[in-house]
Chain A
């Protein structure tokens, strides 16, 4: 019997796990539409590589990884890409996000697969790329891309691999049923992990409320020789330990099994440990041995508002409402729908949100089962939260600092180590939603970091711009000075001391004549300018005023000589007519669709010409008769 350690704090909420374990895992039906979000976990969203209307086969990649921390997305079933648009996604905000909507054809037709039962065929880096390309993200909760966790880092050698079969949160039995029914798949997945990581110790952690799976897991593990896989003597142990929430947290499980603590703000790899969920192991086995990417998962549907609580093997992208129907969901009994468990889950704003890679449970409780939390009351400084905190933090202090938005103090009190397990809120006699305060403050801290980073960038850009402006100004001044200096050289100043007395007189006279000439030209230019100004009676730099002046001048001229105006009208009408005729001819030749418009224009121009001609004739007649 291996020694186990205890963690600080923790709680013992009612488990409520029996309900969903009464029946075996059921393959859920294929819904008519699958909504596959492009961002299902930590890291950058995937980029769609299909178009609306494309036919896709089951398992075909439909979106590719867009960054280092990102995984591709695959079609969960065969069908047609119906849309790529913003749809409701399972997220506490209720904000829509980009999804690929697939209209399924019901055939569930796989793309070509290369099944290979013997994974020893692959080299380690090939296995890694298979895992990455299969879109495997941690199936436990946070959904960290599995391939990144597996990548070896020479500075941080891993000696212990931990399989997390804890599933400490109430109601959820997805991992439990997986261990009951697919022990062999878990063992094979673990063997692949051992081949990549090459650990000296493999610890399989199971809480003692799941003792019924231990035998099956041990038999499955005994069938595999882990020492050959890892290339060194590997000790494999199934370790059971007392049930307590939240012993399934990565850092908590490591402490329970090894007695080591992951350093604050560090990773398990810092102390030579890596931790994977059993769901991830099964997904890796499917990807490597069956060439099946991660397109489905086990999800628990439970709560008193469903008549048939059970576990489903469900396609990613299946709407929650569709899944609930299969469990005979009674919407009127349900007070709020929760994705995840009662401790760490979040209320779903929309029942049509899809199942994603990290959705381990859909909880539909009645009001009596999981009452709406009563209004928060004052903190009475009882200190129960500090006793319950599994990370040994001071939740009460964090609460005050969160209220006061003292982000610096929060950081000093290690809010970053809070795993948001909800144990503090659970024990709080005043019903203060403590975790929500911490979540808000954590995002505020993150936002402040981003803001400071952006401010630093903006400052750099501002400084560069200032420097540039100063430099340009200096260059301008320098250029001006250079020009002046050059002018001085070519036109030596008049008061230059004469070289000889005789030439001095001559120079003087030429200078005076030069000056006189220049003065005359300048005077003439000024006169021209004033005349021009007078005629336009406005400043030259105002185009509107200039145009007005021109018009007025024209008007005055017209009044003086009305015949000229009429003549001009006739002339312009004639000109327009000619132009139009030419255009029309050209348009007719090239079958231009504007022919009709041009013809109408021509008619108008003709009538205008006639009327202006008429006006001119009338005027002439009138003036003649006057004569």
Chain B
């Protein structure tokens, strides 16, 4: 054995490398089959960030299809209910540049919920069929009502209503749900730039 190696150093090295390659290849191949991940985990992660309003404003029939499209490379700024915060989270997850919300798909709005003016409802069940998350209660020819705690504010029920009795009302903010706001920046001078930062901001201008 030793003799063979010392006589044919090149050949023995090749054999050793080939043997190592084969055995590691076998281990990796086995591992890939044994610990295979089913489905695309990134889609699930993207879907977890999307607000699940199922409103279709992104142009896809629900949040999951849009999540799949994002995983395939679609833009991350087509979700108005998710808003800026949602885009930032997606950008973090996918390591992409956070973009401004795409206006073609709507504006970021305060949270609203659907409200049925019950005396006007004729009980046609069209809104019930339109609601993607079963948040409307009712039966044929009796009044319908929205379970406001479940409503995501997707406004898909507004359009099918033949008597136009559904309003999208902003959710009222009580003392419990009230939020502190980030202080407004001083409009008179840019309060966030100190002298050392100023130079880097000004450099592109000061070319001449």
Contacts and interface: CB of A to CB of B under 8 A. Distances in A.
Interface in B99-149: 132-135
A377 B194 CA distance: 9
A39 B175 contact: yes
B200 to A, nearest CB: 14
B135 A436 contact: no
Contacts of A39: 175-176
A406 B88 contact: yes
A403 B50 CA distance: 23
Contacts of A379: 192, 194
A375 B185 CA distance: 9
Nearest to B182: A440
B152 A443 contact: no
B8 interface: no
Contact of A461 (B62, B150, B175, B176): B150
Contacts of B134: 461, 464-465
A444 interface: yes
Interface residues of A, number: 44
A89 B48 CA distance: 38
B53 A458 contact: yes
A418 to B, nearest CB: 13
Interface residues of B, number: 38
Contacts of A455: 48, 50-52
B188 A375 contact: yes
Interface string B156-198: 0000000000000000011110111111001010111110010
A53 B43 CA distance: 59
Contact of A376 (B53, B63, B178, B183): B183
Contact of A462 (B62, B84, B85): B62
A623 interface: no
Contact of A436 (B51, B183, B193): B183
Given A403-B192, A436-B183, A458-B54, A93 B133 contact: no
A481 interface: no
A239 B18 CA distance: 75
A448 B181 CA distance: 15
B92 interface: yes
A618 interface: no
Contact of A408 (B50, B84, B92): B92
Interface of A: 39, 45, 89, 91-93, 95, 97, 375-381, 402-403, 405-408, 433, 436-437, 439-444, 447-448, 451-452, 454-459, 461-462, 464-465
20 contacts: A39-B176, A95-B175, A375-B186, A375-B191, A376-B183, A377-B186, A403-B192, A440-B182, A442-B180, A443-B180, A454-B152, A455-B48, A455-B51, A458-B53, A458-B152, A459-B52, A459-B63, A461-B135, A465-B132, A465-B133
